[in-house]
Amino acid sequence: MNKIQPKYQASWLTIILVILLGGLLCWATQHDAALYQTPVGQVIKVTNQKKVSQTDNFHNHDFSQKQLLKVRILNGHYRNKVLQVQNTFSASNAMDQAYRKNQQLFLNIQKKANHKLQGTITDLKRDTVIVFLSFLAISLLLLTMKFSGFMALLSVLLNGVLFFLAIKLDVWLQGTNILLIFGILAFVFAGLTLFLVLGKTKQMLVTFGATILGTVGAVIVTLLVLKFTHEQGLHFETMEYVTQNPQPVFIAETILGSLGAVMDESTDIISSLFALHRETPNITQRQLFLSGREIGKSIMGPLINVLFLIFMADTFGMMVLYLRNGDSWGYAFTMNMSLGMVQSLVSGIGIVLAIPAASWFASSLLKRGDRL
């Protein structure tokens, strides 16, 4: 018992250090205005005016309200100057917001003829909240998972850098080769991630193969279905944030989106099969294949639900807006949810295909009686 005591204290020390570091980071982002080129201001006084009630064509009741904000500039040329800006907001806050005292915001400042400054708000400064939550997630990951957490984090960071470079390349090529770029990127992502988690082992190669087979299989199925159904009921023009031909962007999004889930499924099956083979080296190929299927089918349902819920819940804002604008359920679904639905279905097909692929790869590689 005595031995456990100091270990506990050490971990309390770590927790206190982590909290201190997190607090320091948040404090720093509260005071990083000097890093921005755009003027940043802090609200020091809010005066709300009267609410004006509003009713739209669909009998939705709302209000609009003006507020006058006294803002102190925190950076640049006009530092420490105080100016008055105006803001209008509604009850629903769909595209506006009510500002509160002490919030920091980005401003657009113009100097008028009489040397008075005039400012308009462009957006809220949100870096503190991003830093806070990322720090919370990363420290929880490292505290609970130690080294394997660090490797997982490293793989996401490296993948993020590659993703960013691929986007630069795509924009540089004017979006002409998006499928090729992100198809190759998917291979690199899978290889890099699995290498960092599993090292350069036989297990890594098998998992890589199963992941690629599952993803490529799902994409081929999708392309065939799109071709033979003539994309009936899909509206690629409804895709958000599209600056180039939407269909290839959609396919590329689908490939990347399914890749992680297919890799998840393959990793789980193959690591269990390798462990099984280590414990019972005399297991036959057929038994290995069947165990792979057994493991796979118990994971697939929950795993398909992971992406399905993310893709569906993400459309809620637009769905609510359509429904409140008098559109029918069917129309709202087609315009907002159908593409996310296709993405979840494709990743589902990839996840299911990965089960026989992973079981087959692992069982044909792990010879009976072999000791790895």
Residues 294-353 that bind another protein (CB under 8 A): 296-325, 329, 333, 337-338, 341-343, 345-346, 348-349, 352-353
The dihedral region occupied by 174, where left means phi > 0, alpha psi between -120 and 50, and beta the remainder, is: left
Nearer to another protein, 231 or 370 (CB): 231
DSSP conformation letters of 267-305: HHHHHHHHHHHHH-TT--HHHHHHHHHHHHHHHHHHHHH
Closest distance to another protein from the beta carbon of 57 (Å): 6
Which of 87, 107, 119, 125 contacts another protein by CB under 8 A? 125
Closest distance to another protein from the beta carbon of 269 (Å): 11
According to DSSP, the residues that pair with 82 across neighbouring strands are: 72
Closest distance to another protein from the beta carbon of 116 (Å): 27
Strand order in the sheet with 117-124: 82-90, 61-73, 40-55, 104-111, 117-124
Nearer to another protein, 142 or 283 (CB): 142
Record the tokens describing residue 271, joined without a space.
């690591």
What track of x and - describes contact with another protein for positions 213 through 252 (by CB under 8 A)? --------xx--xx-xx-xxxx---xxxxxxx-x--x--x
In the chain, the N- to C-terminal Cα span, in Å, equals: 39
Site for another protein in 182-211 (CB under 8 A): 182, 189, 193, 197
Closest CA to 72 of 99, 107, 38, 97: 107
Query: Is the distance from CB of 169 to CB of 180 less than 8 angstroms?
Result: no
Nearer to another protein, 62 or 117 (CB): 62
Which of 42, 84, 90, 285 contacts another protein by CB under 8 A? 90
Residue with tokens 């939550």: 133
Single out the segment in contact with another protein by CB under 8 A; choices: 16-24, 42-50, 77-85, 143-151: 143-151
Which of 170, 213, 276, 289 contacts another protein by CB under 8 A? 170
Site for another protein in 2-31 (CB under 8 A): none
Burial bucket for residue 298 (CB in 10 Å: 0-12, 13-18, 19+): exposed
Single out the segment in contact with another protein by CB under 8 A; choices: 15-23, 78-86, 108-116, 253-261: 253-261
Distances (CA, A) of 345 to 222, 238, 256, 258: 9, 19, 14, 10
Which of 16, 21, 136, 290 contacts another protein by CB under 8 A? 136
